[in-house]
Amino acid sequence: GAVVSQHPSWVICKSGTSVKIECRSLDFQATTMFWYRQFPKQSLMLMATSNEGSKATYEQGVEKDKFLINHASLTLSTLTVTSAHPEDSSFYICSAIPAGQRPHEQYFGPGTRLTVT
């Protein structure tokens, strides 16, 4: 149980286009999901906290107009990278906390590798 999927697993797009990444909790409902970004050979940095039915909370330095997060249901959160540029190329990982679970029960998706050319 407690499986989180991400789609796509990798994507290549041209500069200036937008890309949507989906994060789904497959066998549980998640009121809270997190989005992380990991540059090559670096650590995971939290971008935003996504709460179902409300606006996402962005970490300092993350452009909310560039990285649009929508947590439309208890099993789906989406991250849209708008007007992507090569510097947005990164590994994006989501995680989810099962509804009603204690806050430390966080399950990670397999990640999405974004390359912007």
Partner 1 sequence: AQKVTQAQTEISVVEKEDVTLDCVYETRDTTYYLFWYKQPPSGELVFLIRRNSFDEQNEISGRYSWNFQKSTSSFNFTITASQVVDSAVYFCALSGANFGNEKLTFGTGTRLTIIP
The region of 22-30, 35-43, 62-70, 72-80 touching partner 1 under the rule CB under 8 A is 35-43
Spell out a b/e string for 88-98, using b for 16 or more CB atoms within 10 Å of the CB, else e.
bbbbbbbbbbb
Residues 25 and 98 sit within 8 Å (Cβ to Cβ):
yes
Residues 96 and 23 sit within 8 Å (Cβ to Cβ):
yes
> Does 43 sit near partner 1 (CB under 8 A)?
yes
Question: Of the two residues 28 and 34, which places its CB atom closer to partner 1 in the complex?
Answer: 34
Give the shortest CB-50-to-partner 1 separation in angstroms.
11
Residues 67 and 48 sit within 8 Å (Cβ to Cβ):
yes
Side-chain-side CA neighbours of residue 103 (13 Å): 2
Structure tokens at 54: 């409300």
Question: Of the two residues 32 and 78, which places its CB atom closer to partner 1 in the complex?
Answer: 32
Question: Of the two residues 14 and 61, which places its CB atom closer to partner 1 in the complex?
Answer: 61
By CB under 8 A, name the one of 5, 17, 18, 42 that touches partner 1: 42
Binding to partner 1 (CB under 8 A) within 96-115 occurs at 97, 103-104, 106, 108, 110-111, 113
